[in-house]
Amino acid sequence: MLVIVAPGQGAQTPGFLTPWLEDPTFASRMHWLSTVAGVDLIHHGTESDADTIRETQIAQPLLVATGLVAALELFPHPADAFSTIGAVAGHSVGEIAAAAGARVITAEQAMVLVRERGKAMADAAAATPTGMTAVLGGDRDEVLAALEKHGLTPANDNGPGQVVAAGTVEQLEAFAADGPAKARLVPLSVAGAFHTEHMAPAVGHLASLARSVSVHDARIPVISNRDGTVVHEGRDVLARLVGQIANPVRWDLCLETMSDLGVTGILEMPPAGTLTGIAKRALKGVETFALKTPDQLDDARAFVQKHGEASPFDTTPTWRMVVSPAKGTFHQAEDAAGADLLAPGAAIGDVANRRERHRIVAQHGGQVVEWLVEDGDLVSPGQPLLRLHPEGAA
C-alpha cells in the first residue's frame, strides 16, 4: 500500500521552488494559484530569504500550492491516482493539500482557505507572545508530565522521541530551565503557539468561511491529524481542517493508522524530507521516498508503481459508502441491522479497539443496498462497512 503525505510549516527552504519552475506547465499552475491566494508564491519560492518564507501567511500558501502542483506532475492524469494511492495525510497545513488531493475540496478552495488560515493564525499569534520548542528524546511520560507542569501543550506529537511544546514565552522559558531528563530542547523559529488554545480566534474566522465551502466525499482515504482516524465524509474532513488549527497534531496516531493499513511505501510531496525522516524511525521496514526536485519524478513514479494499489472507496457517484475510521471490531447497531432505509445521521454501529470506541453514522442516510461486514468482524481503517443508495436518486 502507498500513502502520500504533505509536509507542514517549517519544511520550506529558500529557493526550493527554483528547479520546479523550469517546467512551463508547473510555472503556469503556480502563477494561477498565486493569483487565487493573492500571494506571489513564485517570488517567495525562489527569491525570498528564510525569514520571509517563515512568515505564516507566506509559508502556508506556498507549501499547499507546491504540493498540489507537484502532485499534477507526478500524476499527469489525476484519475490514475485514485487507482493507486491507498491513503493521504498531511502534517498541519499539509492536511489542506491532502484534502484537495483526495478531491474533498478544489485546489482553488484550498488556496482561499490556506490564505485565510495563514492570515488568521498570524493575527492570533501577534495577540500574545508565544512560541514552540521541540523536545527531542527523553522518556515520553516524563516529557508529557513536564509539559503539563509548566502549562504547555504538546502541539505536535510526531512519534517516538519527537514532541513539540507550545505556550507562552514565559512558560517556555520556565520549561527550558526545568525540562525533562535526557531530552534536548530546541526552540523553533515560528510566529506563535500553533495548534493550541492561543489559535482559537483563527478557528472562529475559518469556521465562518467553511460554512460556504462545498465539499465532496473523499475519493482517497484521508488520515486525520486530530486522532489518526480515516475520514471519508467531506463535511467531516473540512470540520477537522478548521478545528485542527487550535488542536494538537497527532502524527503519532497517523503513523499508527498507516501501520494498521499495511503501508509498504510512503511518498512525501515537496518540499520533502521531514515526514519521511520521521517515518524511517517510526515505521521500520516501510520504504520512503522524499520528492524534492523534478529530476526525481521518474523514480517517484516507479516507487508509486511498486507500492500502489487501488483505494478501497467505490467512487461511483450513484453510491455512498460508510467506512471504518479505525482498526477494531465492528458492532452493528440493532436498529440498523434490519433496516431498508436509514435516515441522515442514523447510527449503524461502532468500531471498538483497545484505545477507544468510534460511533459510526450514515451521515447522509439512504437505501441500504449491501452490508459489507457482519457484526463482530475485525475491520481495518477505511474499510467499507455499508453501501447506500441516496434516497430519491434515479
Q: Find the length of the chain.
A: 394
Question: Which grid coordinates belong to 254?
Answer: 497517523
List beta partners, residue 137.
Answer: 183
Specify the pLDDT at position 312: 64
* Active-site choice (44, 48, 91, 92): 92
User: Mean pLDDT over all residues of the chain?
Assistant: 93
- To the query of whether residue 92 is one of the catalytic residues in this protein, the response is yes
* Active-site choice (44, 150, 195, 364): 195
Specify the pLDDT at position 310: 67
Classify the C-alpha dihedral 206-211-216-221 as positive or negative: positive
**Residue 366 pLDDT more than 80?**
yes
Name residue, grid cell 505556550: 167
- To the query of whether residue 83 is one of the catalytic residues in this protein, the response is no
169 phi/psi in degrees, rounded to 5? -60, -40
Question: Which grid coordinates belong to 12?
Answer: 520550506
Confirm whether pTM is higher than 0.95: no
3-state secondary structure of 198: helix
Domains of the chain: 2-124+197-307 (3.40.366.10), 127-188 (3.30.70.250), 320-389 (2.40.50.100)
pLDDT single digits (tens) 251-284: 999 999 999 999 999 999 999 999 999 999 999 9
CA distances from 202 to 154, 196, 198, 383 (A): 19, 11, 9, 34
CA distance 13 to 53: 8
Specify the pLDDT at position 320: 82
**Residue 318 pLDDT more than 70?**
no
CA distance 263 to 341: 35
Specify the pLDDT at position 393: 47
The DSSP call for residue 249 is: B
Question: Which grid coordinates belong to 185?
Answer: 530542547
Average pLDDT over residues 197-206: 95
DSSP E strand stretches across the chain: 2-6, 87-90, 130-137, 153-157, 162-168, 183-188, 222-223, 230-231, 265-268, 287-290, 320-323, 328-332, 341-342, 346-352, 357-362, 366-371, 378-379, 384-389
**Residue 158 pLDDT more than 60?**
yes
Question: Which grid coordinates belong to 354?
Answer: 483497545
Cis amide bond preceding 317, omega within 30: no
**SS3 readout for 16-32:** CCHHHHHCHHHHHHHHH
Specify the pLDDT at position 394: 43
